[in-house]
Amino acid sequence: MNKQNGTFNQEYARQLDQNDPLARYRDEFYIKEGTIYFDGNSLGLLSKRAEQTLLDLLHSWKTLGIDGWTEGDNPWFYLSESMGDQMAPLVGATNEEVIVTGSTTSNLHQLTASFYQPGGKKTKILTDELAFPTDIYALQSQLKLKGMDPSEHLVKVKSTDGHTVDEDDIIQAMSDNIALIVLPSILYRSGQILDMERLTKVAHKRNILIGFDLCHSIGSIPHQLSEWEVDFAFWCNYKHLNGGPGAVGGLYVNKRHFGKDPGLAGWFSSRKDKQFDMEHNLTPAEHAGAFQMGTPHVLSMAPLIGSLSMFNEAGIEQIRSKSLQLTGYMLDLIDHKLKDYGFTVRNPMEDEKRGGHIFLEHPEAARICKALKSHQIIPDFRSPNGIRLAPVALYNTFEEVWLVLEKLKQIMDDEEYKKFENKRGVVA
């Protein structure tokens, strides 16, 4: 942001909102009156379109019964594939490479079971020490299932600062004994974006398969997974994509791996025209659908139909542009308003390395988050001393960014946070 005179006043923020090409989408969401919601990187808000498509799918069950599997506007039997078609542009993939299925953890189990094939010297899995815990738990489990000791065969690249990971250190760790690499596209705490294209090229030169956890990047930044030749990826759909709590996840498998048997097979791994032959010999789908397992959770997928329609209208490039403006403006205001209050920004400053949220550290972070909530500002606390603030492009405004920073300064000036215990809640 250009720090002209007046940049830091409320009127400037309002001018930015007046010039926002995505401003019309805010009215599509249910936003509690008087509340500023900055936790969309944990759970996105409900949109009216998502609500309607959920009601539509309920109506198809109500009126069609079992015929809903093959009839209606969104036949359930093909829903995972049709939604994969809608989601493919967000990850830069062909339609057949994307399927909406499972959850982050179940999809990682599936993909690791399919692509981790230890042999000879190549027996280890490479990840990073800042990965989200579910990824580590799943990788440890898969190693044990293959008879490997996770303490020896799960290699975690160290962080030098506890917040970011140096890509050169990741590359340095791509040794001859690495069989598989699983990394986040965006680190969930600091919001650091890893260069997926660069890491994939180096991994392939060293004959290593590589996949990415896109939970904090899907719907937040553009991807070109097919062009980069990433082997696989997986993600949840309830953060930036606003699919609802526990929404069905998604996965991507590069087309060069089509025909590979799924490591964890199930009925919906089948080729569609063979599935109801009821044979005991699986004929896998000839695309990413082979990596499905059980019957799709139709009602948990339904809100995504409406939500994805907005993303396809707005375009991920335009969404990313506004997201960078929002977080850039927030960083300017933090520097202007909070420099004397003990906050430390842990995000990368460069646009190309910063995801869709800001991560602040403060010794009184839990208290500060509770104080913000008492003013109907919804942040996200991360133990032990982190505050994540996510201004989301489709429903947050520049004026909200200004208001949050103004209120945060007031909380610190008045020491209002001292009213609260510096301890996280059960869900933080």
- Known binding residue 295? Answer is yes
- Known binding residue 362? Answer is no
- Known binding residue 216? Answer is yes
- Known binding residue 104? Answer is yes
Rounded CA-CA distance 60/66 in Å is: 9
All residues at 6 or more sequence positions from 283 whose CB lies less than 8 Å from its CB, including other chains: 270, 271, 274
- Known binding residue 101? Answer is no
Show the tokens assigned to 71.
């009839």
- Known binding residue 160? Answer is no
- Known binding residue 134? Answer is yes
72-75: Cβ within 8 A, 24+ apart: 74/302, 74/305
- Known binding residue 213? Answer is yes
- Known binding residue 267? Answer is yes
Neighbouring-strand partners of residue 135:
none
- Known binding residue 188? Answer is no
Which residue ranges are tagged as binding site for pyridoxal 5'-phosphate? 104-105, 132-135, 213, 216, 238, 267, 295
Binding residues: 104-105, 132-135, 213, 216, 238, 267, 295
